[in-house]
Structure 1
Amino acid sequence: MPLPLLPDFLTLTYRPDLHLLVVRWQRLISVAEMQQGYLLILEHAAAHACRHWLLDGRRRFNTDREGAQWMLSSFLPLLQPRLQQRTYLAYLLAPVTLRDQDADAAFPPAAYFNGRPFLGERFVEEGEAIRWLQQQP
Structure 2
Amino acid sequence: MQLLTTRDPSSFTLAYLPDQHVIIGRWMRPVLLGELQIHYQELLAAAIAHGNCRHWLLDVRRRRINDADAVRWFGEEFGPQLPQLLGQPVVVAYFAMVGQDVASTDPALWENIRQGSMQGAQYCYFDQESTAMAWLAQQP
Q: Report the TM-score when normalising by structure 2.
A: 0.82
| Alignment partner, residue 28 of structure 1 | 30
Shift of 1:117: 4.0
Q: Please, which runs of 5 or more residues in structure 1 have no aligned partner?
A: none
| Alignment partner, residue 76 of structure 2 | 73
Shift of 1:5: 3.7
Greater share of helix residues, 1 or 2? Answer: 1
Say which SS state the counterpart of residue 127 (structure 1) adopts. helix
- Determine the C-alpha separation between the residues in 2 that align with 1:25 and 1:127: 18
Shift of 1:110: 4.7
1:6-85 matches, within 5 Å, as 6-7=7-8, 8-48=10-50, 49-85=52-88
**Identical amino acids, percent of aligned pairs:** 34
Say which SS state the counterpart of residue 100 (structure 2) adopts. helix
Say which SS state the counterpart of residue 34 (structure 1) adopts. helix
| Alignment partner, residue 123 of structure 2 | 120
RCO comparison, higher one (Cα < 8 Å, 6+): 1
| Alignment partner, residue 132 of structure 1 | 135
Q: Report the TM-score when normalising by structure 1.
A: 0.83
Q: RMSD across aligned C-alpha pairs, in angstroms?
A: 2.5
Greater share of strand residues, 1 or 2? Answer: 2
Asked if 2 retains the 8 angstrom alpha-carbon contact of 1:61 and 1:94, the reply is: no
Say which SS state the counterpart of residue 101 (structure 1) adopts. coil
- Determine the C-alpha separation between the residues in 2 that align with 1:60 and 1:91: 12
Moved over 2 A (4+): 3-6, 107-111
Q: Please, which runs of 5 or more residues in structure 2 have no aligned partner?
A: none
Asked if 2 retains the 8 angstrom alpha-carbon contact of 1:12 and 1:22, the reply is: yes
Residues 133 and 4 of structure 1, relative CA distance in 2, 3 Å threshold: same
| Alignment partner, residue 88 of structure 1 | 91
Asked if 2 retains the 8 angstrom alpha-carbon contact of 1:31 and 1:67, the reply is: yes
